[in-house]
Amino acid sequence: MSQTDQPRSRRHPEERWAEGGRRLHSAGAAVVVALGALGLGLLLNAPGIHKSASTQPEGWKRNVALALTGPLQDVSSALLLDRPRRALKAVLGRSSDDRIDTAVAIPTPQTKPAGSGTSPPPVARTKFTPEHKLRIWIAGDSLVIVPGESIERAAAGSPVLDPLAVDGRIATGLERPDLFNWFTHLRQVMKTKRPEAVVLMFGGNDDHDFMTGLPKGVTIGPFDSPTWIAEYRRRVGGLMDTITRAGGYVVWIGLPITADPAQTRRFDAINAIVQSEAAKRPGRASYLDTYFNFAGDNGGYAEYLPNDSGQLVKMRADDGVHFERPAGDLIAREVLHRLYQRYDLTSWRRRPSTG
């Protein structure tokens, strides 16, 4: 091979083919294709990527992501490259996926007339029968999924309970309606599905300083500061009011003890807010404390606990936060106990036979 041939052959190497007639390309071409595909892919998916950036936890990563994806979305929109995605989402019936909805739509708190220091009238113990079942909606962040499924399973044993599918949404909460707007969703569910009992569990992703959907002019301090507590309390109370004013009863499952003591302390702060808001709505809302159900003999976190027959069972998931099935079953028992207390779910059994 002559000296002059070498540069030519390096620039234009002999073509090679793999099985099935595939042409092999250079590593440089691989880098160019990958970069080109990612670049164009980013532009085509810009609305979704921008939403993902905005829903990240607060911090420098989110700031950088927003600084990059904002202009990306503008360019995508200017070049009409966001249209195919919008069209595809519309075909799939998911047009709202890329929308960022931060409106905290909750009823205005009812102010008591002056001088009315008396407690609200007692709530009637409504009777349910196999023909008129108690509809139960179970919703919340990822923590509610396992207990929710346990409630569904336990409810199968009663002909008067009608649980709707568990509506558990990973990484959501009340702090970040931009990620998933529970306030809007809850109103829709109360209107369309009309559940009489609503089992909620929130807060697992809310132990941070950052909130979206704040009212105009309102700023909040760090987690557990008076301003943070006031806003979080407004949201918890607002959810409860949305349900109770639609005639529903709320069972709010408290956050559990976790493997991280600092996280447990933050969860305690959230639990305190929920507990006090539930106490303001006797007969209409109920707070279910889970702390001691899942504490070990020393009062601390325990992944394994003995069940009724003394067998050690895994109660908590490996992440030290979520529940395993036996823990869900334990919570389900307590939730159903509350529902049996609140409603008449058994007297239908005593009705005279019509034979």
Partner 1 sequence: MLFPTTTFAIFFMLVLPLSWLLMPRGARWRPFMIAASYVFYAAWDWHFVLLLAFSTVWNHLFAGAINRRSDPRARRGLLGVAVAGDVALLGYFKYYDFFVTSTHNAFSYAGVDLPLEVRQIVLPVGISFFTFMAISYVVDTYRGDWQPAPFGKFATYLSFFPHLVAGPIVRPGELLPQFETPRDPRYVDTSRAFYLIATGLFKKVVIANYLASSIVDPVFGAPNQHSSLEVLVGVYAYAVQIYADFSGYTDMAIGIALLLGFRFPQNFDSPYAATSIQDFWRRWHMTLSRWLRDYVYIPLGGNRKGRLVTYRNLMLTMLIGGLWHGAGWTFVAWGAIHGTALATERWWRERPGFVERPWTPLRRGWHRFVTFQVVCFAWIFFRSDSFATAREVIVRLFTAWGEASPLVTLGVVAAIAAGIGSQYLPPRIPLAIMARFSRLHVAAQAVVLALALLATNSMGPEGVAPFIYFRF
Q: Rule CB under 8 A: which residues touch partner 1?
A: 10, 13, 16, 18-41, 44-45, 48-49, 51-52, 84-85, 88-89, 92, 97, 145-146, 148-150, 152-153, 155-156, 163, 165-166, 170-171, 259, 301, 303-304, 310-314, 318, 320, 324-325
CB of 153 to partner 1, least distance (A): 5
Closest CB to partner 1 among residues 30, 67: 30
| Residue 229: Cβ within 10 Å count | 17
CB of 319 to partner 1, least distance (A): 8
CA angle, corner 164, sides to 284 and 129, nearest 5? Answer: 70
CB of 90 to partner 1, least distance (A): 10
One-letter amino acid at 346 equals T
C-alpha separations of 188 from 66, 68, 152, 237 in Å:
30, 34, 22, 18
CB of 51 to partner 1, least distance (A): 8
Give, as one character, the DSSP assignment of residue 52. H
Closest CB to partner 1 among residues 171, 230: 171
Closest CB to partner 1 among residues 148, 238: 148
- Listing DSSP states for 188-224 in one string gives HHHHHT--SEEEEE--TT--SS--SSPPTT----STT
Tokens representing residue 75 in the block:
């360019």
Closest CB to partner 1 among residues 22, 216: 22
Tokens representing residue 84 in the block:
């195919």
The sign of the torsion formed by the CA atoms of 242, 245, 248, 252 equals: positive
User: Which residue reads 């609200």 in tokens?
Assistant: 120
List the one residue out of 73, 92, 90, 89 whose CA is nearest residue 81.
Answer: 73
Closest CB to partner 1 among residues 219, 308: 308
CB of 40 to partner 1, least distance (A): 4
Closest CB to partner 1 among residues 45, 73: 45
CB of 287 to partner 1, least distance (A): 24
